[in-house]
Amino acid sequence: MKFIFEILKGTVMGIANIIPGVSGGTMAVSMGIYDKMIHAVTHLFKEFKKSFMILLPIGIGMLLGIVGLSFVIKWMFRVIPIQTNLLFIGLILGGLPAVWKRVKGVAIRPQHIIGLLVFFALVVFLAAIDGTEGAAVDMSFSVINCFKLLGVGIVAAATMVIPGVSGSMMLMLMGYYNPVVSSVSDFAKAVFSFDIAGIMNGLGILVPFGIGVVIGIFAIAKLIEILLVKCPHVVFWSIIGLILASPIAIVLLNDFSGLNVFHAITAAIALVIGFIIALFLGGDGKDSKKKAA
């Protein structure tokens, strides 16, 4: 049962990582798996069996969320965009109680407030400058494009791991969001239809991007682990700032002009559902409080 729960948590992270304005790292914090996931990544070779068993269900879930449920999420954003956005705002806010437990009872210092304000402003600023894509990028297979995709993967992964910062939004700012998402769905279709040409084309794009993702995750995870040991309360106050700013980012990045009474009621229900889901999936977050003292 625990393995299934971890897959579900990974699925939520995977879905969050493909939605601009929503942070997979925030979802990990909300569900109580963030610090143990970071530890597993940075100690993968030293504690291979233990780390692998932590990362395996999360990885399976993320793959399901990104590849499989991305089609459902695309449909939801097309048919019920307001309710879907409020669902994710609920998921984000539902993580606040788990993070608050990390700082509750600890004297608030100036560096804590500075961390909160700086990272709150960072997320709002990135959303306010309009995360829309510029000119179409060249995704044809070439050595230069492979290095570009490697770099894009590193930046995207590093931002995906940081709570409150949307890796998808960074991809949009770099002009690679739609090309990468389309490549993932096209590759999945090619695999299911045994389209060899489509599979090879997808591999030419996704392999260098995937290598960059792995490099980015390992690099930023080590930095975050050090910060969690050296200044844990500054980290968690910064995360609170990121979480509080994320709903604002979602509102700024989406059009709510068509809101009516029906939308308001159903969106409020979606918000509550998302909040409850985050609380439920983050139920074991209290067990990971060990290093926040």
Please measure the distance between the N-terminal and C-terminal CA atoms of the chain and give it in whole angstroms.
30
Residues 126/173, Cβ–Cβ less than 8 Å: yes
Which token pair is 205?
């794009």
Residue 189 pLDDT: 84
> What is the per-residue pLDDT across 174-210, written as a single tens digit (0 to 9) for each?
667 767 877 887 888 888 888 888 888 888 888 898 8
Residue 269 pLDDT: 95
> What is the per-residue pLDDT across 100-117, written as a single tens digit (0 to 9) for each?
887 888 889 999 999 999
**What are the boundaries of each domain within the chain?**
2-288
- Between these two residues, 219 and 51, which has the higher pLDDT value? 51
**pLDDT exceeds cutoff 50 at 133:** no
**pLDDT exceeds cutoff 80 at 3:** yes
> What is the per-residue pLDDT across 62-74, written as a single tens digit (0 to 9) for each?
888 877 766 776 6
Residue ranges of alpha helices (H) inside the chain are 2-17, 24-30, 34-42, 48-63, 70-79, 81-93, 96-103, 110-128, 143-161, 167-174, 177-192, 196-230, 232-253, 261-281
Residue 286 pLDDT: 44
pTM: 0.63
> What is the per-residue pLDDT across 240-271, written as a single tens digit (0 to 9) for each?
887 788 788 778 777 777 778 888 899 999 99
User: Which residue in this structure is represented by tokens 């942070």?
Assistant: 23
**CA angle (169 as vertex; 91, 187 as ends), nearest 5:** 95
